Structure 1
Amino acid sequence: MSRIDDIFTRHREAGTRALMPFLTGGFPDLEQTRRALLGMGDAGASIVEIGFPYSDPIADGPVIASSMHEALTSGLRIQDLFEMTASIRDQISIGLVAMVSESIIERYGTKDFVEQAAQSGFDGLIVPDMDLARTMDLGAIADANNLSLTFLIAPTTSPERCRKIAEACRGFIYLLAQSGLTGERDQAPEIQRQVEMVRSCSDLPIAAGFGISNSDHVKQVTAHADAAIVGSALVRRMTGAQDPAQAALDFTRELATGLA
């Protein structure tokens, strides 16, 4: 059982839900990412997504895209992220999941990337832009390294395709609960129907994200989904903050008050 499986099993047995903040790796610098990760468990996070900066983010809104550009222009390397997570893995109990483009994995070498991620303390991968037809090899390598593997399901995904995506996932399913680019929203989308559709396809836990920006959104989402994903709102609070890591932790504590 992977750490991700264990985390969701414990939440399910306790009747609780998970909070999954997103951090852009190396934004605004690697030390801020490290400090934020060290405090996320105490702030209420169960799993943290670490976005691997990419020059052409597929579904990310302007806040995250800008943070990735800043990290890349600072000279951040993939190996820098791996070394940072490896250095703190034994100090944290939260799950760590890499949100990474297929292009980065292929450029690094699929087997090498997955093995390095596992050795560096990652517990899973989210690959938002991978063609479903190419997931089998990656799935086998992820299984061999005890990593979860997650792909995205959108509101426009048909039930048939939902089942195929769910079959390729391990650990949990990422429900993008609103079409279009990621980013903060003022109103939560109608989430119950979408979660029910995904549950009809799979028994895997469902983590839902749509631009959650406050604890009320977290409450609405976790009334139905197993986890709430928070990205743009958190990165925005880090942007320009005097202490970006502390800003991320303070906002995470605020969001955690909405857990159902």
Structure 2
Amino acid sequence: MSNITWLGAHDPFPNPISCQDPDPSVPGLIAVSERIYPGQLARAYQLGIFPWYSDNQPVLWWSPNPRMVLKTANFKCHDSLKKTIRQFLQDSKKEIVVDGDFASVVRSCATASRKDQDGTWITHEIMDAYTQLHEQSHAHSIAVLEDGCLIGGLYCVAFGSMVFGESMFSRQTDASKIALAALCAWCHQHQVEMIDCQQETAHLSSLGAAPIARDEFLTHLQIALKQSNMEICWKFNKEILRHWL
């Protein structure tokens, strides 16, 4: 990784628009840092860069090509999910809460077992950094509750009219899909055209996500950052799910 930039606390990120894949042997890796420094995460997202690394590794900063995105109008609400949504809406014990307990949702994502990844990339450092973004109103959680207990959810990052999906988890069948359906409905209603999904998985593909070229993603990001949707109130409940029925 001799060509990869090591970042200090005040160093700017290489811009992936002009500095694509500085080391071709590690495509998508833009920079490395010893830790996540204050303010660094916010700067990264506004350049289309995100951290993804494991414990005992330096912080690895990525801007992959292609980029997996979910265009909110293309969310696939299959008949089976529509049935689940109807049952969810009729069940008075079940609810959706936005930004009610951000830390609990992130911890649940970190400890969830999953086929396509082991979850270890959500380190304590990651949790602290995204909690700071949450305190600045740039990170949000969508919790799916039953009898007040967390059964699923997701967290995401938002700048301008760009939303970046981070991680989701389920403790009951389709609970994470309920959270994602709610987020997509809210985004669609507020003219948020796409949710960044970062990396391709079969699960996301089944829900309508698809890869696009990095240049296309970065162009969209620059436009979305200039839009004023960051002032939109991130408050909604399970009634948002009626969008898909």
TM-score under structure 2 normalisation?
A: 0.27
- Identify, as 1 or 2, the structure richer in helix: 1
Kindly name which structure, 1 or 2, has the bigger radius of gyration based on alpha carbons.
2
TM-score under structure 1 normalisation?
A: 0.26
- Identify, as 1 or 2, the structure richer in strand: 2
